[in-house]
Structure 1
Amino acid sequence: MNPAARRTTWGGGAIQERVRRLNLITTVPPLAVVGVVLVVFTSHTWLHVVILTVGVLAALATAERWTAGDFVRVAVPCLVLTAVMWLVGALTDNTGAFYGLSLVGSFLIPPLPRYRLPAFFGLVVLVAAVGATNLLAFPGNPGGRLVQYVAIPTFAVVISTVFMFASQRFYDLVAELEQSRERDAELAVIRERMRFASDLHDIQGHTLHVVKLKVALAEKLLHSNVDRAGQELREVHTLVGDTIVETRELAYAQRRLNLSAELENAKNLFEAAGIHVRVDREAEVDARAGELLGQVLRETTTNILRHAQARQVRITLTESGISIVNDGVPEAEPPDLNGLATLRQRLAEDGGELRVEQGAGRFLTAARFPVKPREAR
């Protein structure tokens, strides 16, 4: 694919079509208007009309294909055709016949990054040399004819080429902007999928681990305390039912975590696992932070049950934060806690921060949001 085609196809068919429409609107009509003006004011015979019309049509065909990013195969034969028209025009004393050649040539130069300068000089020499044939056919007034058939067409080629470079850069920027917008939309979709996956992991992973603990406990109690074993199994049944409801709410974007409910749930789970829990409420948690802090508590609870041999857990609630400290952490590399890494990003997007520390056999998970002034709430 040629460089221009690569540039105009960035971001897929939607971007290409929008850029193509913009190119058509801003490029083809002005070129057509100038061509009609030249036909009207520089044609003295029907041959001149034919010469100029053919040149203008060739230029418009090249411009139309340029807007589609596929014009080289059209531009090359059009370049030969417009060069012939300019030669015929020069030999029949038509000053506007260079128009088609200057446009088609200027379209061909930008897509040649390694050969732009030689191609540009080659085009200038071609236009000037063909125009100079007018002096051979009409030897009178050489100074005026040199200006009309060499200087003016050469200047027009320079101007049209510079304009094409500026236009190409402008449309490249438009394509980049469209691509950036499309990427932003794709990233938004990816972030939403990651959020959904994280929430699904919170629900399913947490529930499955708790079910595993409760079933194991019920199995131990089966021969010594049948009533307690039955109670554990009923709690498993209720937990699975609640998880089904939460999963359905998540699928329909209706899920909301309740920090108080998560706190009670974490306390019950720790106590069921034989872990002593201490809860300190220093202040009521800000409602705006409650849902994310509930997610932090749920994820941390699951991590403690999975990765630590904890005997004590301390949960501290402040107005805009929560900290969970547990013991029973082995002196080794910390486990790969992907769930907390995802939550750290989500808290950061909402202006909060998540901190984790490990040392002296303890593990700290702390999340907080900046406290807003009372009048701003």
Structure 2
Amino acid sequence: MTARSLRITEATQGRLRRLNLMTTLPPLLIAAAFVVAVDSHAWWHAVILAPGVLAALVIFERWTADDVMRVALPCTIVAGAVWPVGALVTASPNAYWGICTVGSLALTRPPRHRGLVAAALFGYVAAVGAARLLVDRDDVPKVLITYILIPTVVTVVVTVLTLLGERFYDIVRELEQSRKREAELAVIRERVRFANDLHDIQGHTLHVVKLKLALAQRLVSGDTDRAKRELHETYALVSDTITQTRELAYAQRRLNLSAELENAKNLFEAAGIRVRVTREAEVETRVSELLGLVLRETTTNILRHAQATQVRITLSASGIAIVNDGVPGDAPPEMKGLAALRQRVADGGGDLVVEQEKGEFTTSASFARSVTTSSYPREEAR
């Protein structure tokens, strides 16, 4: 996760904690005032109980700021001291409230063994309550209920609820981080798509420019007019590439299958390769751009990697197949452009297949048909 995403996540969590502070602090203050008012039978009783209440309020405020551990130890010491003094000296059965609150919040950021720390907290509350029997032996049932059972059960319940609340914040943090990661992945995917489109434009154009300049160089001494025409077409091609690059940068570029088909035929003709185009049906608009990408990448690969003498292009309503000869070796060559294109076709709901058999290389892309399109086989040959 980037530093910016981390800051946004922490800001979201901070808003939730502040909301919790505003909604929970008022009842917490009421409970604190109730503890002091009920258990104080003299002014000095309030002085003894007040530090435990103050420690509980301080650690709660720090918890909302995600800064529990800085105050956990001093607050635990203060609240832990108030409970035995209240139980043994001032006969305050609610004096455990401070250690109950402090301990449950401190457990949200414990060292390692949270279970052992929780057990120590519950045991401490129960043991101090049991110590009340040393000064009040005449009413054992009251001591068992008021000083042992109720404080221990309440501490357990508060601790469990606090840990569940902390888990809620953990889930919020994880969801926020997942959302940010998805956004970052979307940006990365868009950058890869842009890089692939730029590669398609620049790589294709540069290779065609190389072919046309080589042809013009051969014709410059024997056929000046043809050489001038090739140079003029090269200039127009470079200008068109600049336009396409600008459109790509501003997300305005849309690939035209008919233009790509005409461009491929012209390129193959310039390289001395015979071309036959068969249209089995009208191509669906929704897949036209992806099929144009397949045709462009395949055309570049044929001109760059094969010694082809003929190419057959077959168009269907939702697919294209390009077959060329002049392929050396028995295994299809590794071409990174086709690997990237296969992923783009798959993202569009299609399938790109590359096969080599008997000296012929076949590149085909197909998509699921969405509508029924009338077939009208038609061939164009060059």
| TM-score, length-scaled by structure 2 | 0.89
Q: Contact (CA 8 Å) 1:353, 1:369: kept in 2 or not?
A: yes
Residue identity over aligned pairs, in percent, reads 56
1:262-281 aligned within 5 A: 262-281=260-279
CA distance in 2, matches of 1:204, 1:140: 96
Report the equivalent of 2:357.
Answer: 359
Report the equivalent of 1:99.
Answer: 97
Deviations 1:48-91 (A, max 9, x none): 44454433332233233334443212111111111112223222
CA distance in 2, matches of 1:318, 1:350: 17
Q: Contact (CA 8 Å) 1:38, 1:96: kept in 2 or not?
A: no
Deviations 1:285-324 (A, max 9, x none): 1111111111111111111111111111111111111111
CA distance in 1, matches of 2:30, 2:325: 86
Of 334-343 and 235-244, deviating more is: 334-343
Shift of residue 244, structure 1, vs aligned partner: 0.5
Q: What SS does the aligned partner of 2:235 have?
A: helix
1:315-326 aligned within 5 A: 315-326=313-324
Q: Contact (CA 8 Å) 2:314, 2:321: kept in 1 or not?
A: yes
What one-letter code is carried by the residue in structure 1 that aligns with 2:16? L
CA distance in 2, matches of 1:158, 1:27: 22
CA distance in 2, matches of 1:327, 1:157: 81
Report the equivalent of 1:289.
Answer: 287
Deviations 1:306-357 (A, max 9, x none): 1111111111111111111111111154333222222222222222221111
Q: What SS does the aligned partner of 2:281 have?
A: coil
CA distance in 2, matches of 1:190, 1:290: 25
Change (3 A) 1:195 1:139: same
Q: What SS does the aligned partner of 1:14 have?
A: helix
What one-letter code is carried by the residue in structure 2 that aligns with 1:254? Q
Q: Does 1:20 align with 2:17?
A: no
Q: What SS does the aligned partner of 2:227 have?
A: helix
Of 26-35 and 99-108, deviating more is: 26-35
Q: What SS does the aligned partner of 1:363 have?
A: strand
Change (3 A) 1:53 1:224: farther
What one-letter code is carried by the residue in structure 2 that aligns with 1:165? L
Of 231-240 and 334-343, deviating more is: 334-343
Q: Does 1:33 align with 2:36?
A: no
CA distance in 1, matches of 2:93, 2:331: 83
| TM-score, length-scaled by structure 1 | 0.90
What one-letter code is carried by the residue in structure 2 that aligns with 1:33? P
Q: Does 1:83 align with 2:80?
A: yes
CA distance in 2, matches of 1:60, 1:208: 71
Q: Contact (CA 8 Å) 2:32, 2:53: kept in 1 or not?
A: no
Deviations 1:206-242 (A, max 9, x none): 1111111111111122222222111111111100000
Report the equivalent of 2:175.
Answer: 177
Report the equivalent of 1:164.
Answer: 162
Q: Contact (CA 8 Å) 1:102, 1:160: kept in 2 or not?
A: yes
The Cα RMSD (Å) is: 2.3
Shift of residue 27, structure 1, vs aligned partner: 6.2
Change (3 A) 1:65 1:342: farther
CA distance in 2, matches of 1:35, 1:136: 32
Report the equivalent of 2:242.
Answer: 244
CA distance in 2, matches of 1:15, 1:67: 15
CA distance in 2, matches of 1:94, 1:28: 29
1:48-87 aligned within 5 A: 48-87=45-84
CA distance in 2, matches of 1:280, 1:340: 23
Change (3 A) 1:68 1:323: farther
Report the equivalent of 2:184.
Answer: 186
Change (3 A) 1:32 1:149: farther
Report the equivalent of 1:298.
Answer: 296
Shift of residue 137, structure 1, vs aligned partner: 4.3
Shift of residue 260, structure 1, vs aligned partner: 0.4
Change (3 A) 1:211 1:144: same
Which residues of structure 2 form unaligned runs of 5+? Answer: 374-382
CA distance in 2, matches of 1:185, 1:214: 43
What one-letter code is carried by the residue in structure 1 that aligns with 2:90? T
- The one of 116, 119, 130 equivalent to 1:118 is 116
What one-letter code is carried by the residue in structure 1 that aligns with 2:81? V
Deviations 1:257-295 (A, max 9, x none): 110000000100111111111111111111111111111
Q: What SS does the aligned partner of 1:328 have?
A: coil
Q: What SS does the aligned partner of 1:12 have?
A: helix
Q: Contact (CA 8 Å) 1:38, 1:52: kept in 2 or not?
A: no
Q: What SS does the aligned partner of 1:93 have?
A: coil
Q: Does 1:144 align with 2:142?
A: yes
Q: Contact (CA 8 Å) 1:10, 1:176: kept in 2 or not?
A: no
CA distance in 2, matches of 1:211, 1:354: 28
What one-letter code is carried by the residue in structure 1 that aligns with 2:57? L
CA distance in 2, matches of 1:329, 1:183: 43
Q: Contact (CA 8 Å) 1:285, 1:318: kept in 2 or not?
A: yes
Of 345-354 and 363-372, deviating more is: 345-354
Change (3 A) 1:62 1:181: same
CA distance in 1, matches of 2:55, 2:122: 19
Report the equivalent of 1:220.
Answer: 218
